[in-house]
C-alpha cells in the first residue's frame, strides 16, 4: 500500500478517516472532484456489479463516501466490513491523500470545469441549512479551518473564489501522472453523455466484469439520467442533505450552461487558471474527454 502523503480536511471531508480502512483485493474506488459525475459513476459500477438490478441497497449506501463527515466513520467502516460482495467506495480526496493498492481499481472521473462550476453553484444553493450548521459546528470542534463562502446569489464572486481555490484542477493534477497505471481508468462526463453504453463497456472491461450480452440494455438503461431521477430511492437519500431531494441534486445533467452566465473576461480567467494548474494534455482532456485526447 502506498502511504497517504497529504492531509486534506474541510468542513465536509476529512481524509484522516481512511486510517481505519481495511482493504480487500478487488476494491473499486470512484475518485472524482465534486460535481464531475460521481453519483453517475457510482450508479454505473453498481449496475455492472448487479446486472440483474438487485443491489443490496441504495447505491450511495452500498458504495459509501468514506471521507465525508456526514456519518461517524465507525458506522461507515462497519458497513464496509459487513459487505460480502465486491466493494465500491467513493472519495473526493486527491490522489496523494488516499491509500493506493496494486490489487484495487481506481476510476477517475473528470468534466469540463465550466460545467463543474455551474453544477457546484446549484449544489451549494440547495444544501439544507441545518446540515451545514451541524458540519460547521463539528469542524470547529475538531480544529478544521472553515474557509470563506461568498453570497450564494453572487455567481461571479463564487467564480472568483472557485478559481482561486482551484480544487478541481489540483485534484486532477494529482491523478494525471497515474493515468497509465493498469489499475487506473480515466472517464469523462462528456464521453458518458455522448456514448453511455460504450463508456460502460469500457468500465466493465477495466473492472473485469462480464455482463451477459442480453442484460446490457437494462444495465445501461438504469444509468441514464432520466432513469436515475425517476427512481431516486434506489440511488440515495438525497432529501436528507438537499432541499428538493433528487430534483435538485440530479439537476440537469447537461453541459454548456455557463455560456449564458459567464462573461468573456471570466472565461479568459478560467482558461488562464486551468493552464496554470495543469499540463497541456490534461487541459485538453478536461475540456473534451477521450475524443479530444486519450490519457492512455
User: Quick check: is 3 in a domain?
Assistant: no
SS3 at position 91? strand
Give the C-alpha separation, 107 to 278, whole Å: 19
pLDDT at 293 over 60: no
Q: Return the higher-pLDDT residue of 136 and 119.
A: 119
When pLDDT is cut at 50, 70 and 90, the band that residue 240 belongs to is low
SS3 at position 31? strand
Give the C-alpha separation, 173 to 169, whole Å: 6
Kindly state the cell numbers that stand for 95: 490522489
User: Quick check: is 152 in a domain?
Assistant: yes
The residues that are catalytic are 92
Give the C-alpha separation, 101 to 1, whole Å: 5
User: Quick check: is 82 in a domain?
Assistant: yes
User: Quick check: is 44 in a domain?
Assistant: yes
pLDDT value, residue 178: 97
pLDDT at 264 over 50: yes
Q: Return the higher-pLDDT residue of 3 and 200.
A: 200
User: Quick check: is 8 in a domain?
Assistant: no
pLDDT value, residue 154: 78
Q: What is the separation of C-alpha 38 from the centre of its chain, rounded to a whole number of angstroms?
A: 3
**What percentage of the chain exceeds 70 in pLDDT?**
79
User: Quick check: is 227 in a domain?
Assistant: yes
Could you read off the pLDDT of 179-200 as tens digits, one per residue? 999 999 999 999 999 999 999 9
Across 16-25, average pLDDT:
95
pLDDT value, residue 74: 95
Please calculate the CA angle 92-98-99 and round it to the nearest 5 degrees: 145
Q: Provide the domain limits for residue 254.
A: 15-291
User: Considering its fold, how many domains does the chain have in total?
Assistant: 1
When pLDDT is cut at 50, 70 and 90, the band that residue 139 belongs to is low
pLDDT value, residue 124: 61
Count the neighbouring beta carbons within 10 Å of the beta carbon of residue 279.
12
pLDDT at 155 over 70: yes
* CATH number for the domain that contains residue 57: 3.40.50.300
pLDDT value, residue 229: 87
Could you read off the pLDDT of 83-104 as tens digits, one per residue? 999 999 999 999 999 999 999 9
User: Quick check: is 233 in a domain?
Assistant: yes
User: Quick check: is 296 in a domain?
Assistant: no
pLDDT value, residue 251: 47
Residue 165's H or E segment, with its range, is helix 155-165
Instruction: State the chain's mean pLDDT as an integer.
Output: 86
Amino acid at each position: 500500500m502506498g502511504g497517504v502523503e497529504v492531509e486534506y480536511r474541510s468542513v465536509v471531508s476529512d481524509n484522516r478517516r481512511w486510517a481505519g480502512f481495511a482493504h480487500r483485493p478487488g476494491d473499486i474506488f470512484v475518485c472524482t472532484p465534486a460535481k464531475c459525475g460521481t453519483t453517475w459513476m457510482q450508479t454505473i459500477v453498481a449496475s455492472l456489479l448487479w446486472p440483474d438490478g438487485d443491489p443490496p441497497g441504495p447505491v450511495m449506501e452500498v458504495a459509501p463516501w468514506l471521507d465525508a463527515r456526514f456519518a461517524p466513520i465507525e458506522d461507515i467502516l462497519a458497513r464496509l466490513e459487513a459487505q460480502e460482495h465486491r466493494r465500491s467506495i467513493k472519495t473526493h480526496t486527491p490522489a496523494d491523500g488516499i491509500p493506493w493498492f496494486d490489487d484495487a481499481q481506481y476510476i477517475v472521473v473528470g468534466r469540463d470545469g465550466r460545467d463543474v462550476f455551474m453544477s457546484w453553484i446549484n449544489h451549494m444553493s440547495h444544501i439544507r441549512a441545518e446540515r451545514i450548521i451541524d458540519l460547521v459546528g463539528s469542524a470547529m470542534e475538531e480544529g478544521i479551518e472553515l474557509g470563506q463562502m461568498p453570497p450564494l446569489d453572487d455567481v461571479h464572486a463564487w467564480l472568483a473564489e472557485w478559481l482561486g481555490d482551484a480544487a478541481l484542477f489540483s485534484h486532477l493534477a494529482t491523478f494525471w501522472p497515474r493515468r497509465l497505471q493498469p489499475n487506473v481508468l480515466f472517464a469523462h462526463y462528456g464521453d458518458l453523455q455522448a456514448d453511455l453504453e460504450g463508456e460502460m463497456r469500457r468500465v466493465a472491461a477495466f473492472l473485469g466484469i462480464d455482463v451477459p450480452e442480453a442484460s446490457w440494455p437494462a444495465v445501461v438503461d438504469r444509468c441514464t439520467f432520466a432513469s436515475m431521477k425517476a427512481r431516486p430511492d434506489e440511488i440515495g437519500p438525497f432529501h436528507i442533505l438537499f432541499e428538493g431531494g433528487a430534483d435538485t441534486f440530479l439537476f440537469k445533467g447537461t453541459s454548456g450552461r455557463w455560456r449564458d452566465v459567464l462573461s468573456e473576461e471570466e472565461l479568459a480567467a478560467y482558461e488562464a487558471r486551468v493552464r496554470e494548474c495543469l499540463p497541456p494534455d490534461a487541459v485538453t482532456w478536461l475540456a473534451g474527454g477521450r475524443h479530444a485526447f486519450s490519457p492512455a
